Amino acid sequence: MKAILFTADEYKDEALSLAETAFYEIAKIYKIPKKPNPNFYIQKDKVEEIKKLNDIDAIIIFDLLKSRHFINLNKELLGKKILDKVILLLEIFALHAGSKEAKLQIELAKLKYELPILKDMYKKAKITEQQGPLGAGVYGVESTIRLYQRRIVKIRKELEEIKKAKEDQIRRVNFNSVAIVGYTNAGKTTIFNYLTGLNQKVDSSMFTTTSPKRYAIPIDGKKIMLVDTVGFIRGIPPQIIEAFFVTLSEAKYANALLLVLDSSLSSTLLVEMLQSSLEILRELGISGKPMIIALNKIDKNNEEKEVEDKVNLVKELANSLYTPIIDVIPVSALKGINMNILRDKILALI
């Protein structure tokens, strides 16, 4: 589908990558307004401009929209799909969902996100007594709201049962596990492949891993389970965290963590990624687990001194924010640099 993307400059690359991962062809990129329009979020003149574009199928606004924005944009831009950051992410997860659990999590998040919008639509339709947005007037919207509410209750029960069964299964496993965590595109799956000898899908699109991949590697007669988890994103909406709690909770039951960071990022962005990764882990109730940090993609740095400075920066900050940090190891999973050192450090830790 051909789309127009609205995003802030700092999120431009990420937004573009996410849109392309969801199979949208971006025809034009506009800056998100500093002061959002109260009715449409985007500028009114842009709404008028887009209205005339017959070849555009969707509008992606890389931020969180309010109900009134969705209602007004849908009214003005008839026939064009309106997506904000949450809906875009949910579409991507839906494309990759394999297990029943993942599909239920996605459906629940989508229903919970759309329900307040439907309720606002219902209020507006009630006031005006005009035909409702779903084509069946006030009563059509009302029955859809009831349907959403019943489905939400049912999915929650199903997920609770799956969660209990999964937690029991994880606890029964009689060997140690290491969860590989970190931001999407940091190279978690490449590291997982190197350590396990597997060939899981790796590409530059975001969210290559949308459900955990597990593999036990035998060492000295013992087995260590490596778990490649779903990647974090910057400014991850709470709706996504909740929807994928069970998936992310793989890290909660691991014996140790391997946090992967992208060393090719600027020092400022690297610090931001480290801080928010640790914050997300805290939100999931994870603390006190031994952690090794793999500073990946060192082959993309220009000088050895640059790598050394970034290792020292990460060490100092990580130790001030989390305990215990076992080590910070600069690696390149793609080139195999220092990967044996990382492997030995994981074994020694376990």
Q: How far apart are CA 299 and CA 322, in angstroms?
A: 27
Residue 49 resides in a domain: yes
pLDDT in tens, 44-59: 999 999 999 999 999 9
Residue 344 known to bind ligand: no
Q: What is the CATH number of the domain that holds 188?
A: 3.40.50.300
164 falls within a domain: yes
Decide which of 61, 83, 105 is a domain's last residue: 83
Whether residue 224 sits in one domain with residue 125: no
Domain match, 198 and 276 both: yes
Q: Would you say residue 221 lies in a domain?
A: yes
Residue 88 lies in a domain: no
Q: Is 286 known to sit in a ligand binding site?
A: no
* pLDDT the model gives residue 218: 76
Residue 175 annotated in ligand binding: no
Known binding residue 196? Answer is no
Residue 313 shares a structural domain with residue 216: yes
Cβ-contact 20, 54 below 8 angstroms: no
The pTM of the full predicted model, rounded to 2 decimals, is: 0.72
For residue 34, give the DSSP letter. S
Whether residue 191 sits in one domain with residue 269: yes
Stated as kind and residue range, the H or E segment containing 19 is helix 12-21
Angle at 261 between CA 205 and CA 257, to 5 degrees: 110
Residues 254 and 319 in one domain: yes
Residue 187 belongs to a domain: yes
* Domain range for 10: 2-83
Can you read off the two tokens belonging to residue 76?
């003005």
> Is 271 within the bounds of a domain?
yes
CA angle in degrees (0–180, nearest 5) for 69-37-40: 25
Question: Read out DSSP for 244-268?
Answer: THHHHTTGGG-SEEEEEEETTS-HH
Identify whether residues 68 and 99 lie together within a single domain.
no
Q: Tell me whether residue 213 is annotated as binding.
A: no
291 and 322 in contact (C-beta within 8 Å)?
yes
- If asked whether residues 115 and 184 sit together in one domain, one would say no
Residue 190 annotated as part of some ligand binding site = no
113 and 78 in a single domain? The answer is no
Which pLDDT value is given to residue 120? 85
Q: Is 231 annotated as a binding residue?
A: yes
- Residue 211, annotated as binding a ligand: yes
The pLDDT score that the predictor gives to residue 232 is 78
Number of domains in the chain: 3
Residues 218, 301: one domain? Answer: yes
- pLDDT at position 135 is 45
Residue 245 confidence (pLDDT): 59
pLDDT at 216: 84
Q: Consult the annotation and say whether 184 binds a ligand.
A: yes
Q: Kindly state whether residues 79 and 98 are assigned to the same domain.
A: no
189 is in an annotated binding site: yes
Compute the distance between CA of residue 71 and CA of residue 68 in angstroms, rounded to an integer: 5
Spans of the chain below 50 pLDDT: 130-136
- Domain-embedded: residue 51: yes
CATH of the domain at 28: 3.40.50.11060
Same-domain pairing of 19 and 125: no
11 is in an annotated binding site: no
Tell whether 140 is in a known binding site.
no
The answer to the question of whether 186 is labelled as a binding residue is: yes
For residue 149, tell me if it sits in a domain: yes
> Is 183 annotated among the ligand-binding residues?
yes
299 is in an annotated binding site: yes
323 is known to lie in a ligand binding site: no
Report whether 228 belongs to an annotated binding site: yes
Check whether 124 is labelled as a binding-site residue. Answer: no
pLDDT at 25: 96
177 is in an annotated binding site: no
Of the residues 168, 187, 220, the one at which a domain ends: 168
Q: Are residues 78 and 102 in the same domain?
A: no
- Which of 106, 286, 98 shows the shortest CA–CA distance to 200? 98
Q: Does 187 carry a binding-site annotation?
A: yes
